[in-house]
A and B are shown apart, each in its own frame.
Chain A
Amino acid sequence: MPPTTQEKAHPSGDNRFKLLDRAVTKHQSRGDALIEVLHAAQGIFGFLDNGLLIYVARALKLPLSRVYGVATFYHFFTLKPKGEHTFVLCTGTACYVKGAGAIQKAVEHRCGVKFGQTTPDNKVSLVSARCVGSCGRAPVAVCDNDVAGKLTPESAAAKIDQWQNVPGEVAA
């Protein structure tokens, strides 16, 4: 476990903690704003590691068990870092009826990992969402904040290829 944090400036000198402090102050350090603060923390750091959870617990004067409990209860919070790209497949009913299952298989096959995991090279995270609310364009996936609709297993796999085959050195 990383070293615990202190009340004022963060010992690591990481300026992102200042942003987090601002979110805490905005909610007057109230314990009932825990979910809001965790949202802010995840927005700033990308994921919630143990050190961050301890920091939030201290800032809101809450037991660590409560902070950890809340962070693990809600699907939206992630305790592990995400890959460079995220492929969020909607598994809502409309997408399911229109063949999200086949897309899931194709994408898992292409990446070699299951949904909920990240490829070993840290390139692609596969995430499943309950419903992204774009049912009119089912089946849908959110690829790095871009909603891609009316997917086929082929077009979904092509999306993954595009991410995996274009490393930094090959610009053309």
Chain B
Amino acid sequence: MTVEELKELAEKETARQKQYKHRITYCSAAGCASCGGGAVRDALAKTIKAHGMEKDVELAGTGCMGLCGEGPLVRIAGDGTLYQRVDETVAARIIDEHIVQGKKVTENLVDTTGPFFSSQVKIVLENCGNTDSEKIDDYIAAEGYDALAKVVTEMQPAEVVEEIRKSGLRGRGGAGYPTGLKWGIVRKAQGDQKYVVCNADEGDPGAFMDRSVLEGDPHRVLEGMAIAGYATGASVGYIYVRAEYPLAIERLRLAIKQAERLGLLGNRIFESQFNFRVDLRIGAGAFVCGEETALIRSIEGKRGRPRPRPPYPSEKGLWGAPTLINNVESYANIAPIIRKGSAWFASIGTPKSTGTKVFALAGKIRNTGLIEVPMGIPLRKIIFDIGGGTPEGTTFKAAQTGGPSGGCIPAEALDLPVDYESLATVGSIMGSGGLIVMDSTSNMVDVAKYFMEFCVDESCGKCVPCRVGTVHIHGILQKISEGRGTTDDLALLEELCEMVKETSLCGLGQSAPNPVLSTLRFFRNEYTELVTTPDGYVPAGTTTEQSPTR
């Protein structure tokens, strides 16, 4: 394939879509599929056929449209009407009334002018809700693979790295390491064979951003990886994806096949000397494999156990070769940066955290779903404007970011801008983007215990602080939550948390105490209410009587 052929293909597809009078898109991602999305698609297709309008109406299954709690969702592309909680009857009415008679089905309308939509900026999710997730032509018509064409035919690898560096993009997996810097290190590393790895082992409970990107726009990730391959001199890429995401795996397999058939992956891409192929590796349910050295082990077919760094994977990674590891969302940002320029990207967000971040909003919040917001947006805006606040009758208590590695952010810190540094000041992390809202009914000691139980289960057992420490922290939390704890236990808990944090081998252990430490910091009264002094008295300063029950 040449650049001209790519342009031709895009034009042909645009012309084909213009033949239709209407384009109806329905969410085909896992969220809507799990609440009857398949039946809605069939009902839409059936009614279109009944009206004999197959040549006038195009039906396309797209990626996540955001409002996952109100699915299944159907969108009329022409006027942007969005319908929620669509079932088979409503689907038929959408065709009968909206398409045929031009009357909107008012009962199921979503107000698309509200803050849920107006406060969002879509870069990573720009195609979700618009292009068909299973058609490469649709992606190409939406400027897909343009960035790869530009890079391969017009730019030197060093220029690509420089462009990414200038954009200020930082790793979206959680730690926020500057992506351009990482690319530069791998590019300069010595080695005949280099690898590009996409970390799609989204293990944080409550996070489904990467899943939605892979299901909704798999080609965007492939394109980002191919550009990374060109920039770093790698010819092989691996996507390590969770086995729990069967739909994402299926879509990726299909996308790789489609891209190979068109010569957008494989040998001599755009008739250059650049070769790049992508393989899929399926995880098998181990949270620790999200850690990069453990992930490498797992791709090599071994137990996913981390090893000490340095050497970092950028020097010695997969089979000892220099390896670039980025997260799904990081790769998804690459193509737009190349297409629109680093200056455009850097103008979004804050100077130190540029661009946007995708969050999965869940928990005790009205609008659950997937959102993309510019970095630096206040947390209050995310939770109360976009999320619509907590359900009626309850008040906001805490927002949990970063999963088991993150912390709970209290109501006092709601005006905090969401960027890497600010979240760190309150003892949490950006994390991969799960944002769980807790209201007055949540007990914070229980929340800490819940996360610690997770870490006990998921600790790989290689280093002692993590393997033994997490078990003991969990034991103390159990004791406290049952009302058997003393003030000595609290002191021990804090000491133990610091120790596990300081001495564990990898990120899992180092961050495992975060939920405990952050709840101790902001919700200490919930702990002190449950403990007594070692000789059995209620400690001074506790207003309520000893109340072992929650």
Identify the A interface with B (CB < 8 A): 30-36, 38-39, 66, 69-70, 73-77, 91-94, 96-98, 129-138, 140, 147, 149
Partner of B285, one of A76, A92, A96: A76
Which of B124-132, B202-210, B323-331, B347-355 lines the interface with chain A? B202-210
11 A-B pairs besides A69-B303, A135-B434, A136-B31 with CB distance below 8 A are: A32-B300, A39-B282, A93-B436, A94-B362, A97-B442, A98-B364, A130-B205, A130-B285, A133-B30, A136-B369, A137-B34
Which residues of A are found within 8 Å of B202, using beta-carbon distances?
133
Q: Which residues, 437 to 451 on B, are CB-close (under 8 Å) to A? A: 437-438, 442, 447, 450-451
Question: Would you call B454 and A130 a contact (CB within 8 A)?
Answer: yes
Question: Would you call A35 and B208 a contact (CB within 8 A)?
Answer: no
- If A70-B302, A130-B454, A132-B244 touch, whether A93 touches B281 (CB-CB below 8 Å) is no
Q: Does B286 contact A (CB under 8 A)?
A: yes
Question: Would you call A93 and B403 a contact (CB within 8 A)?
Answer: yes
Could you list some 12 contacts between A and B, CB below 8 A? A73-B286, A73-B303, A73-B460, A93-B206, A94-B205, A97-B364, A130-B203, A131-B244, A135-B363, A136-B362, A138-B368, A140-B34
**Identity of the chain B residue whose Cβ is nearest the Cβ of A142 in the assembled complex:** B34
- If A75-B284, A133-B30 touch, whether A31 touches B207 (CB-CB below 8 Å) is no
A91 to B403, CA, bound (A): 13
Which residues of A are found within 8 Å of B510, using beta-carbon distances?
none
Interface hub of A77, A96, A135 (most chain B Cβ within 10 A) = A135
Which residues of B are found within 8 Å of A35, using beta-carbon distances?
281-284, 298, 301
Q: Does B136 contact A (CB under 8 A)?
A: no
Size class of the B contact interface (CB-based, 8 Å): 35 or more
Question: Would you call B244 and A133 a contact (CB within 8 A)?
Answer: yes
- If A93-B206, A136-B69 touch, whether A75 touches B285 (CB-CB below 8 Å) is yes
Q: Does B196 contact A (CB under 8 A)?
A: no
Q: Mark B408-444, 1 if CB is under 8 A from A, else 0.
A: 0000000000000000000000000010111000100
B254 to chain A, nearest CB (A): 17
Question: Would you call A32 and B301 a contact (CB within 8 A)?
Answer: yes
**Identity of the chain A residue whose Cβ is nearest the Cβ of B280 in the assembled complex:** A36
Q: Does B35 contact A (CB under 8 A)?
A: yes
A78 to chain B, nearest CB (A): 10
A112 to chain B, nearest CB (A): 23
A140 to B205, CA, bound (A): 13
Question: Would you call B69 and A131 a contact (CB within 8 A)?
Answer: no
B133 to chain A, nearest CB (A): 16
Q: Mark B24-36, 1 if CB is under 8 A from A, else 0.
A: 0000001101110
Which residues of A are found within 8 Å of B35, using beta-carbon distances?
137, 147, 149
Q: Which residues, 53 to 74 on B, are CB-close (under 8 Å) to A? A: 68-69, 71
Which residues of B are found within 8 Å of A74, using beta-carbon distances?
283-286, 304
Q: Mark B297-313, 1 if CB is under 8 A from A, else 0.
A: 01111111000000000
Which residues of B are found within 8 Å of A31, using beta-carbon distances?
301
**Identity of the chain A residue whose Cβ is nearest the Cβ of B209 in the assembled complex:** A133
B405 to chain A, nearest CB (A): 12
Which residues of A are found within 8 Å of B207, using beta-carbon distances?
131, 133, 135
B112 to chain A, nearest CB (A): 18
A132 to B30, CA, bound (A): 10
**Identity of the chain B residue whose Cβ is nearest the Cβ of A72 in the assembled complex:** B303
A34 to B297, CA, bound (A): 12
**Identity of the chain B residue whose Cβ is nearest the Cβ of A30 in the assembled complex:** B301
Which residues of B are found within 8 Å of A133, using beta-carbon distances?
30, 202, 207-208, 211, 244-245
Which residues of B are found within 8 Å of A132, using beta-carbon distances?
244
A47 to chain B, nearest CB (A): 14
Question: Would you call A36 and B285 a contact (CB within 8 A)?
Answer: no
A154 to B159, CA, bound (A): 60
Which residues of B are found within 8 Å of A77, using beta-carbon distances?
284
Q: Does B287 contact A (CB under 8 A)?
A: yes
Question: Would you call A70 and B301 a contact (CB within 8 A)?
Answer: yes
Question: Would you call A36 and B281 a contact (CB within 8 A)?
Answer: yes
Which residues of A are found within 8 Å of B206, using beta-carbon distances?
92-94, 131, 135
**Identity of the chain A residue whose Cβ is nearest the Cβ of B212 in the assembled complex:** A133
Which residues of A are found within 8 Å of B69, using beta-carbon distances?
136-137
A134 to B165, CA, bound (A): 35
Which residues of B are found within 8 Å of A137, using beta-carbon distances?
31, 34-35, 68-69, 71, 368
Question: Would you call A135 and B34 a contact (CB within 8 A)?
Answer: no
**Identity of the chain A residue whose Cβ is nearest the Cβ of B243 in the assembled complex:** A76
Which residues of B are found within 8 Å of A33, using beta-carbon distances?
301
Q: Does B360 contact A (CB under 8 A)?
A: yes
Q: Does B275 contact A (CB under 8 A)?
A: no
A111 to chain B, nearest CB (A): 21
Which residues of B are found within 8 Å of A136, using beta-carbon distances?
31, 68-69, 71, 362, 368-369
Which residues of B are found within 8 Å of A98, using beta-carbon distances?
363-364
